[in-house]
Amino acid sequence: MENKLKSMGLAAREAARSLALAGRKEKDRALREMASSIRSRRDSIVEANGLDLEEGRKAGLSEPLLERLTLDDGRIESMAAGLEQIAVLPDPIGSGLGSYINEDGLEISRVRVPLGVIGMIYESRPNVTADAAGLCLKSGNAVILRGGKEAHHSNRAIAEAIGKALGNVGFPAGAVQLLDDPGREATQALMALDSLDVLIPRGGKGLKAAVKQHAKVPVIMTGMGLCHLYVDSSADVNMAVRIAVNAKAQRPSVCNSIETLLVHSDVASRFLPPLVKAMEEAGVELRGDDRVRKVVSMNPAVDDDWDTEYLALILSIKMVDSLDQAMDHIHLHGSGHSEAIVTRDYGNSRRFLDGVDAAAVYVNASTRFTDGAVFGLGAEMGISTQKLHARGPMGVEQLTTVKFRVSGSGQIRS
Amino acid sequence: MENKLKSMGLAAREAARSLALAGRKEKDRALREMASSIRSRRDSIVEANGLDLEEGRKAGLSEPLLERLTLDDGRIESMAAGLEQIAVLPDPIGSGLGSYINEDGLEISRVRVPLGVIGMIYESRPNVTADAAGLCLKSGNAVILRGGKEAHHSNRAIAEAIGKALGNVGFPAGAVQLLDDPGREATQALMALDSLDVLIPRGGKGLKAAVKQHAKVPVIMTGMGLCHLYVDSSADVNMAVRIAVNAKAQRPSVCNSIETLLVHSDVASRFLPPLVKAMEEAGVELRGDDRVRKVVSMNPAVDDDWDTEYLALILSIKMVDSLDQAMDHIHLHGSGHSEAIVTRDYGNSRRFLDGVDAAAVYVNASTRFTDGAVFGLGAEMGISTQKLHARGPMGVEQLTTVKFRVSGSGQIRS
């Protein structure tokens, strides 16, 4: 395994050198070729996906998981169209971040360059294979992809379509490689692969823990979200109910949905009854602390609830007596993803925006908006919940680093 | 040890929350107070430094190391003045990186915020204690400092001066903490401390290897430099000699000096004789490959020479037949710090700037210019040779991350 990965790493390093020098036209042509190759192999991709679904059913995967795994004609068309959309994005490579002439007469400019070789580990939908390949190629990076084992037939078929396209336009095969080995050892070896400039794991708690234990290369962790909505004493109750239901129930399986609602005691008796009604209509199970359950009856929340990313139609509710108590709770239990307040108070809105440490902080809006497209970054590699390098949605710009270019005329340092 | 560190981590986390909200005026006043506290405790700092020097002599430290360790009145004054210079720098916190209104009417702005809690491990001069504390405080971060054991008396005295100053202006003691324990276990525990948002190790190969083995938190590696100068066939020979001597000998103990010179075969017979003469005058030992030694006599270079950061007056020299060969050598052996070409050829200058992957790439200038002050960043925490988050000299801006602030009026996602 390690030898196989080592040679994949070397191929990626070599490919990265030529990708870094590839112009926008070449890269965009490659992206469009990838799209058309995926379209023309639609039948074989659907067939491969059928094998995954069959194995998944045998292995007893849940219906929602099988649904996520499924590729039909529509989803394959979206995958292809997504690559064409990446082709339309501006090329981040070479763009300048300021330049000046220093006192020695050196012309110094700071420009964006690719990271180099990216390792991407993901568990979920097979379309990530195409999205990640496209974003990495657009930003001039080589990538080694390692998808979930439930999707390995589908991922292989998609990677083959991409490889064929790269060959057609004269790009090196090392530009996009799929680590096609379902074993845990393969994942661990990838986490320690010297030739990676960065590892981007996209997944939940289990993957995060494995990364913490095994990663020997720089990491950008994505995909974890324990988000809160705080309903302030001055909140517009109708707005608060509407936002809470949207943030919890519109798509509970994603990282920008909320898991815990914090409500100020002054507004609890007005807010909780309509909230409970709306949540019940949306099919949400509620778990409250003792004070909440004195206002309306629901299941009790236990300590673990405050630290659980349900990714399901479950919401825990806690009563607080001040904005500070709400911010303390978020500080202790939040994952630094998305946090929201509903308030009519100007000062409290500012204190929340300033005082809460997360990738995205909201006043009077649903946390569900944390997304690369909404935030103007185009498609996204994932949503980073760490602070280093990239925070929040990661687009092509977040897959770059910088280089200082210095032009002189013989200057030496004195 | 781990318990002590855990409680230092908690104190740092709490301090970071209030530092993040501190305004520029308060932070700058704290920096000036730190400067005056260091000045007023000059005698006790010199005394503490005397103990370090005494122990260092007993332990047989080399003269250059003892010299680096020494604090006299002038150096203590520079340390204080350095803090005052940091106070004058613009405050990076809160500065905007673009804002817009999306199609839902959400006002989205991206602003700089502190990283949070920084761990800094350094081996060298005790003035780093004051520099790092100042840069972290200016950027709103709490820091846990872990200096070299040779300097522990000096570091303790400096940290006490800083702690007193912070108390005077009402800043929490957790803002700047010194991990005052010389053991290896302490360093390893710091590398795995959950409460760190980033670990910044500054040092050589040994430290890098230890970090790779033990770090469980995000890392920015600084301080390693294996830099090259390539003398192209079209080079101005006099300029090339002047730049080579400066890049090697002006201050050989720092990371932006060169270790290897690559010379094109077409210019070797004109370039090498005057180079050897100038290098000998500068006291530099030369080690050449076989082809170089056919032109001028010198010690032979062995394979290890191409991968050695001498940090001393030693230079290895290799002959190449093309720019591509030179770039291949740099790709294989360089540390991604600073790389230079001397050439009169326009096309080659562009190919070198584009094709060499390093934090700083130079045409016709000495690599010695890679420096926070020269590059306009003010004082620096170190020079990053990794690509993630910060590359090249790190100033206060590189000690920040971003936050999306989203102001709405009840928007939900459809």
* Chain B partners within 8 Å of A197 (Cβ): 386-388
* Chain B partners within 8 Å of A331 (Cβ): 17
Whether A159 is in a domain gets the answer yes
Question: CB of A332 within 8 Å of any CB in chain B?
Answer: no
CB pairs under 8 A between A and B: 204
Domain assignment of residue B16, given as a range: 2-222+381-407
Q: Do A355 and B104 touch (CB under 8 A)?
A: no
* Residues B323 and B387 grouped into a single domain: no
Test the A interface: residue of B388, B397, B400, B414 with most A CBs within 10 Å? B388
Residue A238 has pLDDT above 90, yes or no: yes
The whole-chain average pLDDT of chain B stands at: 95
* Residues A45 and A187 grouped into a single domain: yes
Residue A173 CA to its chain's centroid (Å): 26
Question: CB of B95 within 8 Å of any CB in chain A?
Answer: no
Instruction: Give me the CATH number covering residue B279.
Output: 3.40.309.10
Compute the residue count for chain B.
414
Q: Which residues are registered as beta bridge partners of A117? A: A142
Q: Do A364 and B407 touch (CB under 8 A)?
A: yes
CA dist., res. B393 & res. B374, Å (int): 10
Average pLDDT over residues A374-397: 91
* Residues A56 and A180 grouped into a single domain: yes
In this prediction, residue A351 carries a pLDDT of 97
Q: Do B403 and A104 touch (CB under 8 A)?
A: no
Whether A289 is in a domain gets the answer yes
Whether A114 is in a domain gets the answer yes
* Residues B39 and B186 grouped into a single domain: yes
CA dist., res. B359 & res. B338, Å (int): 6
Residues 6+ apart with CB under 8 A from B135: B86, B379, B380, B381, B395, B396, B399
**Degrees, nearest 5: CA angle A370-A374-A376:** 115
Instruction: Give me the CATH number covering residue A136.
Output: 3.40.605.10
Q: Do B368 and A405 touch (CB under 8 A)?
A: no
In this prediction, residue B65 carries a pLDDT of 85
pTM of the model: 0.93
The whole-chain average pLDDT of chain A stands at: 95
Question: CB of A366 within 8 Å of any CB in chain B?
Answer: yes
Nearest-Cα residue of chain B relative to residue A327: B17
* Residues A65 and A132 grouped into a single domain: yes
- State the smallest CA–CA distance between residue A65 and chain B in angstroms: 23
Positive or negative, the CA dihedral A243, A244, A245, A250 is: positive
Residue A1 has pLDDT above 80, yes or no: no
Enumerate residues 367 to 386 of chain B having a beta carbon within 8 A of any beta carbon in chain A.
368-370, 374-376, 386
Q: Do A410 and B218 touch (CB under 8 A)?
A: no
Average pLDDT over residues A135-154: 96
Highest-pLDDT range among A277-281, B148-152, B371-375: A277-281
> Which of these ranges, A196-210, A219-233, B95-109, has the smallest mean pLDDT?
A196-210
| Complex ipTM value | 0.93
CA dist., res. A47 & res. A53, Å (int): 10
Whether A412 is in a domain gets the answer no
CB A359 within 8 A of CB A391: yes
Residue B1 has pLDDT above 80, yes or no: no
* Residues A70 and A194 grouped into a single domain: yes
Alpha-carbon separation of residue A380 from A53, A251, A370, A407, B115 (angstroms) = 26, 18, 11, 35, 23
Q: Do B355 and A104 touch (CB under 8 A)?
A: no
* Residues B217 and B278 grouped into a single domain: no
pLDDT tens digits for range A10-44: 999 999 999 999 999 999 999 999 999 999 999 99
- pLDDT bucket at B40, cuts 50 / 70 / 90: very high
* Chain B partners within 8 Å of A212 (Cβ): 216
Nearest-Cα residue of chain B relative to residue A373: B102
Q: How many domains does chain B have?
A: 2
Identify which of B375, B388, B414 has the shortest CB distance to residue A218: B388
Average pLDDT over residues A196-218: 88
CA dist., res. A179 & res. A186, Å (int): 8
Q: Do B410 and A364 touch (CB under 8 A)?
A: yes
Residue A124 has pLDDT above 80, yes or no: no
- pLDDT bucket at A373, cuts 50 / 70 / 90: confident
Question: CB of A266 within 8 Å of any CB in chain B?
Answer: no
Question: CB of B349 within 8 Å of any CB in chain A?
Answer: yes
Positive or negative, the CA dihedral B127, B131, B137, B141 is: negative
Nearest-Cα residue of chain A relative to residue B390: A389
* Residues A342 and A395 grouped into a single domain: no
Question: CB of A139 within 8 Å of any CB in chain B?
Answer: no
* Residues A126 and A31 grouped into a single domain: yes
* Chain B partners within 8 Å of A406 (Cβ): 360-363, 365, 369
Helix (H, G, I), strand (E, B) or coil at A325: helix
Nearest-Cα residue of chain A relative to residue B391: A402
- pLDDT bucket at A378, cuts 50 / 70 / 90: confident
* Residues A10 and A106 grouped into a single domain: yes
Burial-class residue A269 by CB neighbours within 10 Å (0-12, 13-18, 19+).
exposed
Residue B213 has pLDDT above 90, yes or no: no
> Which of these ranges, A1-5, A88-92, A161-165, has the smallest mean pLDDT?
A1-5
Question: CB of B212 within 8 Å of any CB in chain A?
Answer: yes
Question: CB of A365 within 8 Å of any CB in chain B?
Answer: yes
Test the B interface: residue of A239, A404, A414 with most B CBs within 10 Å? A404
**Number of continuous H segments (helices) and E segments (strands) in chain A:** 14, 16
Q: Do B376 and A413 touch (CB under 8 A)?
A: no
Residues 6+ apart with CB under 8 A from A65: A56, A150
Question: CB of A404 within 8 Å of any CB in chain B?
Answer: yes
* Residues A263 and A161 grouped into a single domain: no
Identify which of B239, B375, B408 has the shortest CB distance to residue A410: B239
* Residues A243 and A162 grouped into a single domain: no
Alpha helix positions (H), B282-402: 290-295, 323-333, 346-355
Q: Do B361 and A406 touch (CB under 8 A)?
A: yes
Q: Do B376 and A102 touch (CB under 8 A)?
A: yes
In this prediction, residue A117 carries a pLDDT of 97
Question: CB of B100 within 8 Å of any CB in chain A?
Answer: yes
- State the smallest CA–CA distance between residue B127 and chain A in angstroms: 22
* Chain A partners within 8 Å of B411 (Cβ): 364-366, 369
In this prediction, residue A321 carries a pLDDT of 98
Q: Do B236 and A197 touch (CB under 8 A)?
A: no
pLDDT tens digits for range B175-190: 999 998 878 889 999 9
- Locus of tokens 């106070």: B87
Q: Do B242 and A410 touch (CB under 8 A)?
A: yes
Whether B173 is in a domain gets the answer yes
Whether A339 is in a domain gets the answer yes
